[in-house]
Amino acid sequence: MSLFWIVIRQLAEIEAMSKKVITREEWEKKLNDVKIRKEDMNKLVMNFLVTEGYVDAAEKFRMESGTEPDIDLATITDRMAVKKAVQCGNVEDAIEKVNDLNPEILDTNPQLFFHLQQQRLIELIRNGKVEEALEFAQEELAPRGEENQSFLEELERTVALLAFEDVSNCPVGDLLDISQRLKTASEVNAAILTSQSHEKDPKLPSLLKMLLWAQNQLDEKAAYPRINDLATATLEDPAI
């Protein structure tokens, strides 16, 4: 992320000066003066592929670049199977797969286990299994709610779905959105990664956020070629 460090350096250089104009030629020279090792860039790419679960791409990148992942790529397939099961609403299957990977994940993370059980309840309600949903809530979730106030509030919010015939007008209808499944799936994915001593979030998005923050800081002090489209990373000439 040579551009990020260029922005930071430039901030320090002109902090005491009025807003100045930095030409494309000057900016590109500064970029070229910063040397980033290809190995470090490759590790950044591999970190993203592994964390996000792109096992085929990670294997291909390993072969092409010689960059070794910091975990066994076979575990990615297992982790993605868990994530996919939750995303498809097969929560019981997901719980079984997590326990097959590492039983301690759920044993030591009561919040994650509650959220998986909550998702099971949501799927029962989604499928119109009202009596089964009520029984499941009473036997599996209510005891946990008695021990934890935040769990109780989430349980009450979920059970409230049963009070509405038309969930499109329900104030808690968002629980039935696909985004709720994705949220739970992401939480499980992060827990598995943590159990494997791997970062739960890829480094690349964080670096891009740092880049945007640095550019916003520099905008107050100078006009310079900046990146407005992260997808293309094209430098756009400063507006004078």
Cα radius of gyration rounded to whole Å, the chain: 24
Q: pLDDT tens-digit profile of 75-116?
A: 899 999 999 999 999 999 999 999 999 999 999 999 999 999
pLDDT tens-digit profile of 117-157?
999 999 999 999 999 999 999 999 999 999 899 999 999 99
pLDDT of residue 166: 79
Mean pLDDT of the chain: 89
pLDDT for the residue numbered 232: 87
pLDDT level of residue 16 (50, 70, 90 thresholds): very low
Q: Which of 12-16, 53-57, 104-108, 202-206 has the lowest mean pLDDT?
A: 12-16
- Given a contact cutoff of 8 angstroms between Cβ atoms, the answer to whether 63 and 40 are in contact is no
Q: What is the pTM of this model?
A: 0.75
Sequence-separated (6 or more) residues with CB below 8 Å from residue 51: 193, 198, 199, 200, 201, 202
Q: Is a pLDDT exceeding 70 seen at residue 37?
A: yes
pLDDT one-digit tens code per residue, 186-209: 999 999 999 988 888 888 888 889
Handedness of CA 191, 96, 115, 182 (dihedral sign): positive
Q: Can you tell me the distance from the alpha carbon of 8 to that of 49, in angstroms, rounded to the nearest whole number?
A: 28
Q: Give phi and psi for 223, each to the nearest 5.
A: -105, 125
Percent of the chain whose predicted confidence (pLDDT) is above 70: 91
d(Cα 224, Cα 215) in Å, to the nearest integer? 9
